[in-house]
Structure 1
Amino acid sequence: MSADVWTSAPTVVSALSLAAWLWLLLARGFFWRTDVGLPGRREPESWPHVCVVVPARDEAAVLPASLPSLLAQDYPGRAEVFLVDDGSTDGTGDLARELGRRRAGLPLTVASPGEPPAGWTGKLWAVRHGIALARARDPEYLLLTDADIAHAPDSLRRLVAAARTGGFDVVSQMARLRAESVWERLVVPAFVYFFAQLYPFRWIGGRRAGRKGTAAAAGGCVLLRADAAARARIPDAIRHAVIDDVALARAVKGSGGRVWLGLADGVDSVRPYPRLRDLWRMVSRSAYAQLRHSPLLLAGTVAGLALVYLVPPVAAVAGAAAGNAAAAGCAGAAWLVMAGTYVPMLRYYRQPLWLAPLLPFTAFLYLLMTVDSAVQHYRGRGAAWKGRTYARPGAVPDEG
């Protein structure tokens, strides 16, 4: 094979893509592994008081599948639930009260804080109101969980045991999202895969927990020490954050707290995303905020996604067609590594493994969603969600 083949642009780009994938495989905290389970499984000697805070806006469709699971928690200590109705128009508050009356279990309080003032996202304004109600009960821990999250009966017990025996101020689990429709199967496992690539779980709760850029949480399930929340001024310090879960983790870490994040077992989202437009809206509403509304970061992200995810299949096929074995070989190897790292996430989501080679297509969709997020931002639509639009949502605050 001539030297010109190895120095040709397709071969060089393919080799760079392969090098990127080898680095991701070996030096990115083994982000692709899905065996990061709850730490500290011993049960504590005493069970602390926990208050569960559930912000809810127009959640009547999913509440019957989620709220009863919280009320039915098998928890040895004292626990109670506060559902904060964030200006719902579909009867969420009344439905929550009815579900509480029907089921024996943890005490339920339903409240409403009114419309959020300027500078607050609706969810965090509701969380603030719920935490204020909870603090009147003087709990040791707060469980912040979304209204579409269903918990196994021992979920709270396991979370508290992990926090208490592991010495963590935040224990968060990435809820298992629904993956039943065609688009959910194609997009949802990749969403969690990309999140883990950005925030490798082992770098958050392990020995590298002090490393800059490795604090994160998953907003659907966050157990938080009440004194750590007060020390970090949660949620006031992050009141403008669209990506509030990562902002929360960074605020707690910045105030000296310890954070753990992993994949869930027994914490599931019941919210359906049957159409591509539903998933598109979920991703695009916050993608540009993740990039801190920076055109430079957007350009770098697009270029990075193209090099890492799009070059392998394109160069493999084009190289083979053009007889460029070097380009085809490097690109094919990169595609193989990519698909291999995606297999554990597909298994976690109980999806067929033939979806692994299709990851470049899904990555292309995410690239388009990210660009669309920026376009909507500059059109003044920002992070639109459930009837509210945050024209210039606050980016996740810097660590440091």
Structure 2
Amino acid sequence: MSAVAWTAAGSLAAWLWLLLGQGFFWRTDVRLPPHRDPADGTGRGHWPTVCVVVPARDEAAMLPESLPSLLAQDYPGRAEVFLVDDGSTDGTGELARALGEQHGGLPLTVASPGEPPPGWTGKLWAVRHGIGLARARDPGYLLLTDADIAHGPESLRELVAAAETGGFDLVSQMARLRVRSVWERLVVPAFVYFFAQLYPFRRIGRKGSRTAAAAGGCVLLRADAAERARIPDAIRHAVIDDVALARAVRRSGGHLWLGLAERVDSVRPYPRLADLWRMVARSAYAQLRHQPLLLLGTVAGLALVYLAPPLTLVAGLATGDAPAAAAGALAWLLMTVTYLPMLRYYRQPLWLAPLLPGTAFLYLLMTVDSAVRHYRGRGAAWKGRTYARPDGTAEPAPEQR
């Protein structure tokens, strides 16, 4: 066989393994597990107290859609919301107080911890402050949720019921991201698809599994599990804090669950490619632990798995290499079929599925750009901060120079 045919065969073998051997990552039926109300119809006292911690930095545009949904939670037990203003300059704290007075519902406390000390990301410093305030209420659970996440009215009830029924220490739902613009339609479903490929949800839910991940927008955590895992102090420097949190809970013996959400939605828009590019590039190289060899392996893997099928199909047809064309076509077909469930979940047209190689190429470029930013000293820049590199040094964000 030709080199092109061998490449196509390698890609096809990879897709056969991904189809059957990677925890059926492509299926989208991992939703909240079967659960029952802890009170069992006997009264309010059986529902544990929950404190909701919301770190927020410059989120005034998002709060009118997200915060009222938290305040309006239909939770039978005691629940309270702590919004921690992480040095906002757009009036986030003041707006949160005004929304609390306007909408009522769950009690709301708005606080600010000041600038994070060296070695802490701003979000985790805010989470630490919020958890400290929450501990005075002696909660059974902490709900860590982002300021751009809107929850259905029964979200908190269902999360707690699932944790109590299944004995989970951490229950996380990947919020349904906004998909309206052309670029969102092309990039966002693929983002969740790639995440599930790296962290198959079914494996995360198994006791004893080494796979650990969470979706930072919606994490329900038992308070005693947070203490055992030393959350957030143990992960204070983490840029990808949700995965780091899940790993810390897993290491301390915790039982995890992660799945797709039905009534938890992100309201943050990413209308332009540049917006989505920044979202991915700010943390992609951190996901690879800033290792050049892992970067090279990732680029090669993306090329073999996602780019080789259409390229070898075209090359095979152009040169009359039937084995290359056939293997490339089959690999592309498997890729397309595994992507269809995610497009259905996001209610997107199925004709987008064959375009996944193009989207994967964009992610390849974003990952390389993330490494370039790191070596130029820009690192994980977000909202005016650039976080420390592994050697402990930090650079100011570009807009602060």
- Structure 2-normalised TM-score? 0.95
- Establish whether residue 351 from structure 1 lines up as the match of residue 345 from structure 2: no
In the TM superposition, residue 335 of structure 1 has moved relative to its aligned partner by 0.2
Q: After the TM superposition, which residues 343-382 of structure 1 pair with which residues of structure 2 at under 5 Å, given as runs? A: 343-382=340-379
Distance 1:23 1:31 in 2: 11
8 Å contact kept, 1:178–1:269: yes
Q: How does 1:250-269 map to 2 (within 5 A)?
A: 250-269=247-266
Structure 1 residues 11-20 or 40-49, which shifts more? 40-49
Note if 1:303 corresponds to 2:300: yes
Q: 1:124-147 CA distances to partner (integer Å, 9 max, x unpaired)?
A: 000000000000111000000000
**Partner of residue 42, structure 2:** none
Q: State the match for 2:141 in structure 1.
A: 141
Question: What aligned pairs does 1:282-293 form with structure 2 within 5 A after superposition?
Answer: 282-293=279-290
Tell which deviates more after alignment, 225-234 or 386-395: 386-395
Distance in 2 (CA, whole Å) between partners of 1:56 and 1:216 is 22
Shift of the 160–393 alpha-carbon distance from structure 1 to 2, 3 Å rule, reads: farther
> Do structure 1's residue 178 and structure 2's residue 178 form an aligned pair?
yes
**How far, CA to CA, are the matches of 1:113 and 1:158 in structure 2?**
31
For the pair 1:277 / 2:274, whether they are aligned, the reply is yes
Could you tell me which residue of structure 2 aligns to residue 201 of structure 1? 201
Kindly indicate whether residue 334 of structure 2 is the aligned counterpart of residue 321 of structure 1: no
- Report what 2:10 is aligned to: 16
1:331 and 2:328 aligned: yes
Q: Distance in 2 between matches of 1:118 and 1:13?
A: 47
Superposed CA deviations along residues 258-308 of structure 1, whole A, max 9, x for unmatched, are 010000010000000000000000000000000000000000000000000
State yes or no: 1:232 paired with 2:226: no
Contact 1:289–1:394 (8 Å) recurs in 2: no
Q: CA deviation at 1:41?
A: 1.7
Quote the residue 2:37 is aligned against. 43
Letter in 2 for 1:8: S
Question: Secondary structure of the residue that 2:282 maps to in structure 1?
Answer: helix
What do residues 181-237 of structure 1 show as CA deviations (whole Å, max 9, x unaligned)?
00000000000000000000000003xx4232x100000000000000000000000
Q: Which residue of 1 aligns with 2:395?
A: none
SS in 1 for 2:171: strand
**Cα distance, 1:40 vs structure 2:** 3.4
The answer to whether the 8 A contact 1:241-1:394 is kept is no
Contact 2:59 2:148 in 1 (8 A): yes
Partner of 1:116: 116
SS at match of 1:59: coil
Q: Which residue of 1 aligns with 2:94?
A: 94
Q: 2:386 aligns with which of 389, 392, 395?
A: 389
Partner Cα separation in structure 2 for residue 394 and residue 254 of structure 1: 24
Q: Secondary structure at the match of 2:34?
A: coil
Which residue is 2:160 aligned to?
Answer: 160
Partner Cα distance (2:68, 2:90) in 1? 19
In structure 2, how many angstroms separate the alpha carbons of the residues matched to 1:387 and 1:258? 36
Contact persistence 2:204–2:258 (CA under 8 A): yes
Q: Please name the residue that 1:398 is paired with.
A: none
Structure 1, residues 65-110: CA drift from partner, whole Å, max 9, x if none?
Answer: 0000000000000000000000000000000000000012000000
Map of 1:61 onto structure 2: 61
Q: Deviations over 1:299-318 (max 9, x none)?
A: 00000000000000111111
For 2:159, the aligned partner's letter is L
SS, match of residue 314 in structure 1: helix
Q: How far apart are 1:393 and its partner, in Å? A: 5.8
Any idea what the Cα deviations from partners look like across 1:32-66, whole Å, max 9, x if unmatched?
00000111321113210000000000000010000
Whole-Å separation in 2 of the counterparts to 1:85 and 1:114: 9
SS at match of 1:116: coil
Unaligned runs of 5+ in 1: 1-6, 396-400
Could you tell me how far apart the structure 1 residues matched to 2:237 and 2:257 are?
23
1:210 paired to 2:204: no
2:21 to 16, 27, 48: 27
Instruction: Tell me the distance in 1 between the aligned counterparts of 2:142 and 2:14.
Output: 40
> Deviation at 1:391?
4.1
Tell whether 2:244 aligns with 1:247. Answer: yes
The alpha-carbon distance between structure 1 residues 251 and 394, as it changes in their structure 2 partners (threshold 3 A), is: farther
Cα distance between partner residues in 2 of 1:13 and 1:85 = 52
Give the match for residue 43 of structure 2. Answer: none
Residue pair 2:54, 2:81 contacting (<8 A) in 1 also: yes
In 2, distance between residues paired with 1:339 and 1:230?
43
Q: Partner of 1:168: helix, strand, or coil?
A: coil
Amino acid at match of 2:322: A
